[in-house]
Amino acid sequence: MLAVEEAIDRILRVIPVLGVETVSLPEALGRVLAEPVLATRDLPPWDNSSMDGYALRAADVGAARPDDPVRLRVVGEVPAGTVAPRPLAAGEVYRVLTGAPIPAGADAVAPQEDVERDGDWLRVSRPVAPAAYVRPRGEDVRGGDRLLEPGLTLGPAALGVLAAVGRPTVRVYQRPRVALLSTGDELVDLNGELGPGQIPNSNTYSLAAQVQAAGGVPVNLGIARDRLEEIEERLRGGLTADILVSSAGVSVGDRDFVREALSRLGAHLDFWKVSMRPGKPITFGTIGSRPVFGLPGNPVSCMVTFELFVRPALRRMAGHLLLHRPHVRARAVEALDNPGPRRAYLRVRLTGALDRLEARPTGGQGSAILRSMLLADGLAVVPPDTRVEPGEAVDVLLLHVEALGGPGR
């Protein structure tokens, strides 16, 4: 059996990056930038006021004192989105609002709470330094600056920058389409009626959510019965997607047909066992340049193997530079026992701050206990034949960054 790292390496060696498309800013959140973004203008594009107040010449109020205030004439008002009709002359001020361009001739702003107004006249009782409360042109960005680099995952701040420099669209890597097939005679979709010995199909829905969370587009191929021809036909229908993922039917049982069906479709199968639990029976290969994954059928095994193997492949296809989830160190609150010869990924809940995290199991660790994933913040990575005693440190693969020191955790 392959080690986990070797399996991941083999997968990533053959994963292509998808092409590029242009999308509008509302569609770009979470997408990966495929072009450098240069500023086409200064930001702000002009000197502007950081306060509601009065634009003036600092030299006019250099001698102002509480017992001898300087009187200046108010000659107009400049709200944001307008400009002064003429330059400021000596002895004059403009009323300006936050964000308004500084009128020509002015070099400072006196906040409204620091002055007294009497009709068209303003009394200033203290000096105002040159450039006070003035945000200079280009303070944030200079025209020609490289603002964003390819490979950046676009978040709210990046979208704000793009909008600020006037970009209504942006070039990003395409989102991978991931075809999902569940197999098994026992499965019934959510709108169906359960018969004797049947269960709802949960894997398709958990996998679809994992695909979306990783930045992909799920394509539901439905359920295939444990019949070779039916599995082959359903898988064939997924060959228009960028990644093909099935769940169940990848072990060595009499009714495990996924590997054979993939072979009949021309797949080159690279491996079908990885030294881990849960999730030993996992198949990976390619049909042409298209990666195909056969994941285990047990719900926890399915979700864990997706996190370790499919998610990094999907993210590479989508142009991401960071492919893997982060790891943290935590102190075991209860013993974490792995008596077997394969590495274990135990579902744990994390509590405490980042520098003193504590990990405790989420309950039963069976590969069919889906509730263990529901409660999990991460996967404690326990080497073979190892028992992590209470108080000892353990490596944890984070499933939720929010688990790090959140309130009440």
Pairing between strand 169-173 and 70-78? unpaired
More confident residue, 403 or 332: 332
> What pLDDT is attached to residue 407?
37
pLDDT in tens, 88-141: 999 999 999 999 999 999 999 999 999 999 999 999 999 999 999 999 999 999
Cα-atom radius of gyration of the chain, to the nearest Å? 31
Give the number of other Cβ atoms within 10 Å of residue 204's Cβ: 23
Let me know: does 351 contact 283? Beta carbons within 8 Å: no
- Give SS3 for 153: strand
Sign of the alpha-carbon dihedral angle for 388, 389, 393, 394:
positive
> What pLDDT is attached to residue 339?
95
pLDDT in tens, 10-57: 999 999 999 999 999 999 999 999 999 999 999 999 999 999 999 999
As a whole number, mean pLDDT of residues 148-154 equals 97
Note the helical H segments in 131-247.
156-164, 203-213, 228-237
- Give SS3 for 229: helix
Sign of the alpha-carbon dihedral angle for 283, 284, 288, 289:
positive
Strand extents, DSSP E, 288-324: 290-295
More confident residue, 253 or 213: 213
Name residue, tokens 């199991």.
361
75 Cα distance to chain centroid: 51
* 3-class secondary structure per residue, 378-391: EEEEECCCEEECCC
> What pLDDT is attached to residue 381?
98
Let me know: does 177 contact 237? Beta carbons within 8 Å: no
> What pLDDT is attached to residue 211?
98
Q: What's the chain's average pLDDT? A: 95
Residue 287 has pLDDT above 80, yes or no: yes
Distance CA(40)–CA(111), nearest Å, equals: 32
> What does each C-alpha distance from 172 to 148, 150, 169, 186, 316 come to in angstroms?
12, 9, 10, 41, 13
Distance CA(147)–CA(158), nearest Å, equals: 9
Q: Where are the domains of the chain?
A: 4-17+176-317, 24-42+150-173, 48-135, 327-403
Among candidate residues 250, 245, 226, 243, the one with its CA nearest the CA of residue 298: 250
**Banded pLDDT at 254 (limits 50, 70, 90):** low
Distance CA(219)–CA(202), nearest Å, equals: 15
Distance CA(39)–CA(165), nearest Å, equals: 6
Residue 409 has pLDDT above 50, yes or no: no
Give the number of other Cβ atoms within 10 Å of residue 145's Cβ: 15
> What pLDDT is attached to residue 354?
82
Q: Specify whether domain 4-17+176-317 bears CATH 3.40.1190.20.
A: no
Distance CA(197)–CA(247), nearest Å, equals: 19
Going by the DSSP 8-state scheme, the letter that residue 409 receives in this structure is: -
Residue 253 has pLDDT above 80, yes or no: no
Distance CA(65)–CA(123), nearest Å, equals: 10
Torsion on CA atoms 78, 79, 80, 82, rounded to nearest 10 = -50
> What pLDDT is attached to residue 403?
64
Q: Which residues of 173-200 are buried (b: 16+ CB within 10 A; e: fewer)?
A: bbbbbbbbbbbbebbbeeeeeeeeeeee
Share of the chain above pLDDT 90, in %: 91
As a whole number, mean pLDDT of residues 238-262 equals 88
Residue 170 has pLDDT above 80, yes or no: yes
Looking at domain 327-403, its CATH superfamily turns out to be: MoeA, C-terminal, domain IV (2.40.340.10)
Q: Which CATH class for the 48-135 domain?
A: mainly beta
pTM of the model: 0.87
Share of the chain above pLDDT 70, in %: 98
Residue 406 has pLDDT above 50, yes or no: no
As a whole number, mean pLDDT of residues 222-232 equals 94
> What pLDDT is attached to residue 355?
84
Residue 408 has pLDDT above 70, yes or no: no
